Structure 1
Amino acid sequence: MRKLVYYVAVTLDGFIAAEDGTFDGFIFEGDHMAGINAHYPDTVPTQFRAAVELADAPNQHFDTVLMGRHTYQVPGGLASPYAHLRQFVVTSADLDTPADVEVVREDVVGRVQALKAEDGLDIWLCGGGKLAATLLPEIDRLLLKIHPVVFGRGIPLFDGKADIRKFARTDATLFESGVSFMTYDRV
């Protein structure tokens, strides 16, 4: 069975974006970028893959991406940010999306359970915090890029009521840039 993997950048104080949904405070230069991109090329937006020499890189971990509306509609966002993956946006709002981006308007938990039952690579939960809180019972793994920065306020890693779930750290990589890449699996 495929896993739902919440793979996201997060601040030391637990935010995945600023209050306005931007993430300019994260570190985009340093040894962590090459290291993470080499291991997770599937998570680089299609438009930028050639620039980081990943244009022809096969998907190693994910073939599907799931994101909330605010993650999909980040300022300066792309209509089809991950064209190399099967793309889903969860929202109740009316969105004008290209044919390769499917909108999920109801029963997101049921839709994720159906996706997990399909054959294929894992499912990447790209954001946001409200969607992550809703899907916490279905999240099998957390991949956290912890940046050495504090936002003070913003969009939390899990935004909303969620039942307690325990995870065990299964891997950790520390980079000279100060970014830590942590892997946690549900226990």
Structure 2
Amino acid sequence: MKNVVLKMDVSLDGFVNAKGGKIDWIYDNVNSELKAYITNMLWEADVHIMGRRTYQDMAKHWPSSTEDYAPPMNEKPKVVFSDTMKEVDWQYSRLANRGISEEISQLKQQSGSYILAHGGASFAQSLSRLGLIDEYRLIIHPVILGGGLPLFKNISDAIKLNLVNTRVFDTGAVLHTYQTIRN
């Protein structure tokens, strides 16, 4: 069975967006080493899942981009979760046919490596609340934002995790990989 992997960039104080929604602080810590790691992770995933807002942002950017992340973003299958969208037009994308838990359960049954969940914070929070994330890959950047949009919010029950890997990048960003402990 495939795992659902959430990859998120997070400030040291736990925010995924600074006040006003800014994310430029992330790019201060992305060098060739970190970029290679992320590109490889994008390629290794069998399918990418995301919510409406992330899909709309990515669908505007990646099809015409020449950046390192563009080929896997454009060539890998994508499943979009939205209650309001009627269609998607980014190549290899489709709208989820069922509710989030059912759709992810069906994706997990397929053979392959893993399902890569892209935030937005609200999509990531929904996946966390529903207990659908098997592995968290948090890239913690050496910056304190002092406010903004937190990664974890409105989680009713504790999510127990097991740290399985840590990797320090030259920029000071640190990847923490946690697996969810299931009872």
- Please tell me the TM-score bracket, short chain as reference: 0.7 to 0.9
| Contact 2:45-2:113 within 8 A present in 1 as well | yes
Cα gap change, 1:19 to 1:86, in 2 (>3 Å):
farther
What SS does the corresponding residue of 1:111 show, helix, strand or coil?
Answer: helix
1:54 is aligned to none
Matches within 5 A, 1:155-170: 155-170=149-164
1:146 pairs, out of 132, 140, 146, with: 140
Q: What is the alpha-carbon distance in structure 2 between the residues aligned to residue 74 and residue 65 of structure 1?
A: 14
Q: What is the alpha-carbon distance in structure 2 between the residues aligned to residue 38 and residue 75 of structure 1?
A: 19
Mapped pair 1:119 → 2:111: yes
1:73 pairs, out of 45, 56, 70, with: 56
Cα gap change, 1:43 to 1:23, in 2 (>3 Å):
farther
2:45 is aligned to 62
Gap runs ≥5 in structure 2: 64-69
Mapped pair 1:37 → 2:35: yes
| Contact 1:27-1:147 within 8 A present in 2 as well | no
CA shift, 1:77, in A, is 3.6
Deviations 1:30-69 (A, max 9, x none): 5xx322333342456xxxxxxxxxxxxxx3x302111112
| Contact 1:144-1:183 within 8 A present in 2 as well | yes
Report sequence identity in percent.
26
CA shift, 1:182, in A, is 1.1
Q: What is the alpha-carbon distance in structure 1 between the residues aligned to residue 140 and residue 134 of structure 2?
A: 19
Scaled by the length of structure 1, the TM-score of the pair is 0.78
What SS does the corresponding residue of 1:185 show, helix, strand or coil?
Answer: strand
Scaled by the length of structure 2, the TM-score of the pair is 0.79
Q: CA RMSD in A?
A: 2.5
Please tell me the residue identity of whatever aligns with 1:186. T
Tell me the matched-pair count: 170
2:120 pairs, out of 124, 128, 142, with: 128
More off after superposition, 145-154 vs 118-127: 145-154
